[in-house]
Amino acid sequence: MINPGRLPSRTLQRLWIFCLLFFCFSLLKAQTDKPVFRVIAFYTERNDLAHISFVHEANKWFPEMGLKHHFTYDSTNNWNNLNRDFLSHYQVVIFLDTRPDSPAQREAFRNYMDHGGAWMGFHFSGFALTPSEFPQNWDWYHNEFLGSGSYVSNTWRPTSAILRVEDSQHPVTKNLPETFKSAPSEWYRWTNDLRANPNIDILLAIDSSSFPLGTGPKQSEIWHSGYYPVVWTNKNYKMIYMNMGHNDMDYEHKTNKELSSTFSSEIQDKFIIQALLWLGGSME
């Protein structure tokens, strides 16, 4: 055991400086390691195997990114947790697939967004088709909040696309190239023209160099021209919708093997994280 009274004054001084630096370093590390914001992801995981594949992938990828970028990530398939008390513990809500269906859940989500909450939605969370299991029966969500209206059609098979940055001034698109190659996905077309909505800011769209997009076999599943938004935000809310989130699966040979990964494009991954950090109020 060291007896400070027997140490030379210079050695004692160095010892105190070392202890002070160690304390400051420990305090700084604790502050750095503390999560800046909390994320809760809702999912259903019961419809399409490609959507289920994405949900599993997301629930593994986001916690890993949370450790790196200082946010916590929780997930639940209990949509009854979409209530005021539960949501009060989180700064960002993610819909990985589908959307809330009960009036109470929908009211809680709208109240959350109206009072400053943040939201990120992927792929099927924007889907609505009447008649179907997911009809367009929520005007505020599909027409006002998302602005896209109903689903019209999609490309097939899931393929990569060249995406073009439409708003290079938005915080989530900073340091992105003008165009980049996405991970494979199934791409949606909508009833509403988002360009005509002054509340919608389109961040990414499919670049014309992607055409023809899709492989068929149906010709209607191959896009040869047109304008297709992929990622956008509503200026009246802190939200971002992303059409990514449908992995390619081996349906043809009935193996149901995963043939692609949503989080396999370095630039797309960077964009998703920048978007999440922006929503959480922690742009790096």
pLDDT of 23 above 60: no
Q: Does 187 reside within a domain?
A: yes
Q: Evaluate whether residue 8 is within a structural domain.
A: no
pLDDT at position 172: 97
pLDDT greater than 80 at residue 238: yes
CB 206 within 8 A of CB 225: no
Q: What average pLDDT score do residues 194-211 get?
A: 98
Residue 127: predicted pLDDT? 98
Asked if residue 20 is part of any domain, the answer here is no
Residue at 29 is within a domain: no
The number of distinct structural domains making up the chain is 1
Residue 62 belongs to some domain of the structure: yes
Identify whether 12 is part of a domain: no
Let me know if residue 250 belongs to a domain. yes
**Is residue 238 assigned to a domain?**
yes
Does the pLDDT of residue 29 top 90, yes or no?
Answer: no
* Parent domain of 81: 35-279
pLDDT in tens, 88-105: 999 999 999 999 999 999
* CATH number, domain with residue 68: 3.40.50.880
Indicate whether 30 pLDDT > 70.
no
Reported as a single tens digit per residue, the pLDDT across 36-71 is 999 999 999 987 999 999 999 999 999 999 999 999
The answer to which of 25-29, 67-71, 138-142, 193-197 has the lowest mean pLDDT is 25-29
